[in-house]
Structure 1
Amino acid sequence: MMMNTTLDQLRGLKLVSMAQALQEQMQQSGISAMSFEERLALLVDREVHGRQDRRCAKLLKTARLKYPQAMIEDLDCRASRGIDRATVMSLTLGPWVSSGHTVLITGPTGVGKSWLGCALAQHACRQGHSAFYQRVPRLGEELRIRHANGTFTRWLDILKNTDVLVLDDWGLVGMDAQTRTDLLEMIDDRAGRKATVITSQLPIEHWHEWIGDATVADAMLDRIMQNHHRLTLTGESLRKARPSQKREENQG
């Protein structure tokens, strides 16, 4: 009876993982051989890890990543893809998020740019950072809706304080004047403060022309290129490779 009260009190204090661990300890026959301090340490450790897991799950849900299961540890670094594992790992271990750096991922279609961008954001979430994924081709529509319903300023403020912003498919479609101005605001708010990941199949030397307005392009690229890391992917489309790989596996 007393133990049930203790479990209820732990749940009331939102120590859910600790309560679950205590229940498990009660069912273990050899647990009495451990000292009180050892058992308490196990309970606290379970609660700490449980909270970390729940926070990570919440951050990933908010991030809305295109590839939420993408993990940097699973990165394919074959020479044909042009990915330097040392460079990528230095990013994951370095302070690019806390220092507000920009990561530019370019390469032809289908080589895994979006996956890599999501993997970097997913890794940041596992480290306790917030993230958000946005496809640039849909940005104009998103902005028009938010201007119309009065949520634009609030959304801009949320993005301003998000630790990692992934802008996917940069340069894929053209922008109108309003989208261009709003995008500059987003970039300016984050420059040097919060990290941004940009993926694009358009070579960087063509970005100025794509942005359109020379003055806005100068201002935007000046902020993007400040403290940036560049990853250039190469090789054939992974989307084309998958069917042939599947056939080989079936034949093997």
Structure 2
Amino acid sequence: MHPIPELTPLLKQLRLSGILDSLEARNREAIDRKLAFTEFLSLLIHDEVARRDNKKLSLRMRRANFRSQKTLEGFDFDRLPSLNRAAIHDLATCRFIDEKVAVLIAGPCGTGKSHLAQALGHAAARQGHDVLFSTQSQLLASLRSAAAVGTYDRRFQYLAKLPLLIIDDFGLKPLRSPDDEDFHDLIAERYERAATILTSNLDFPEWGEAFPGNKMIGAATLDRLRHGAHKIVLDGESYRGLKPGVETLRSELAKGGKIKQP
């Protein structure tokens, strides 16, 4: 008698139905290798644990709202020779999450700030941390939308308690009232309680310019972000290079040349 049909409802009742995915293969392996019952059971349990871990990771990745699969393995360090690779790999251990401090990344457009931030987020998710990636505009828009439907407190607490919140494009748009107050309140609530990554096109001394309407709120916000923070400057050429032929086109136009029509 084949035992799998009889086991199927029992495993489902115990919420162990994932074992069915590898049961036949493991059974054949146990017969071929003449494994003891305990060794066979160990293989099945390890399969189930791996399946559950992968399921949790997939869920964390969906909730993280990453733009794409940007990982540290795919980051082009060669374009940024002045960047300290060892420091970046140390950040990827995610000790900064346990330290509950910020990682502040500044640099010109196209130098890989968003890629690096998401890569650190991927590393955090793989290590079991809940992560959310959002632009500054999207983050504040979500709070405004929540306020409009009476769920502001719930949304705010969710954002405040996330182990890792990644805010992309900080300062790209000036923070006006009441967004500047919401942003300050969120950073203040997360201060020394959770880790935050910010990316910005502004140089670090210019970050105060993101709060044109209230310098005092800006100073208080940045003071909390900077305390114990890891600072990274990306200084290099843009990844978003011109398409082939565009530079030649510009050169010809600059010389007053005529472009032949196809």
**TM-score for the superposition, normalised by structure 1:** 0.89
Aligned counterpart, 1:13 = 14
Structure 2 CA distance, aligned partners of 1:53 and 1:71? Answer: 17
Q: Does 1:133 align with 2:110?
A: no
- CA distance 1:52–1:193, shift in 2 (3 Å): same
Counterpart Cα distance in 1 of 2:173 and 2:230: 24
Is the 8 Å Cα contact of residues 81 and 233 (structure 1) preserved in structure 2? no
* Structure 1 residue 95: Cα displacement: 1.6
Q: CA deviation at 1:79?
A: 5.7
Aligned to 1:177: 177
Partner SS, residue 58 of structure 1: helix
Q: Match of 2:150?
A: 150
| 1:118 alignment partner, SS class | helix
Aligned to 1:250: none
Using the TM superposition, give the Cα deviation of residue 19 of structure 1 relative to its aligned residue in structure 2, in angstroms.
2.4
Unaligned runs of 5+ in 2: 246-262
Partners of 1:205 and 1:12 lie apart in 2 by 60
Aligned to 1:89: 89
Q: 1:25 to 1:125 in 2, by over 3 A?
A: same
Instruction: Compute the RMSD of aligned alpha carbons.
Output: 2.0
Shift of 1:24: 2.2
C-alpha distance 136-55 of structure 1, shift in aligned 2 (>3 A): same
Residue type of the partner of 1:97? I
Question: How far apart are the structure 1 equivalents of 2:236 and 2:72?
Answer: 19
Q: What is the SS of the residue equivalent to 2:96?
A: coil
2: CA distance between counterparts of 1:36 and 1:29? Answer: 8
Bigger Rg, structure 1 or 2: 2
In the other structure, the counterpart of 1:211 is: 211
Q: Displacement of 1:241 after TM fit?
A: 6.2
The one-letter code of the counterpart of 2:120 is: L
Structure 1 distance, partners of 2:81, 2:196, is: 23
Distance 1:94 1:143, change over 3 A: closer
1:75 positional shift = 2.3
* One-letter amino acid of the structure 2 residue matched with residue 133 of structure 1: F
CA separation of 1:193 and 1:140: change in aligned 2, threshold 3 A:
closer
What does the per-residue CA deviation read over 1:129-185, in whole Å, with 9 as the maximum and x for residues that have no partner? 001111113334333221111111101111111111000000101121100000011
Instruction: Tell me the residue number matched to 1:103.
Output: 103
- The residue aligned with 2:235 is 234
Question: Per-residue deviation at 1:36?
Answer: 1.2
1:220 and 2:221 are equivalent in the alignment? yes
Match of 1:45 in 2: 46
Counterpart residue number, 1:124: 124
CA distance in structure 2 between the partners assigned to 1:12 and 1:160 by the alignment: 37
> How many pairs were matched up?
243
What is the alpha-carbon distance in structure 1 between the residues aligned to residue 244 and residue 218 of structure 2?
40
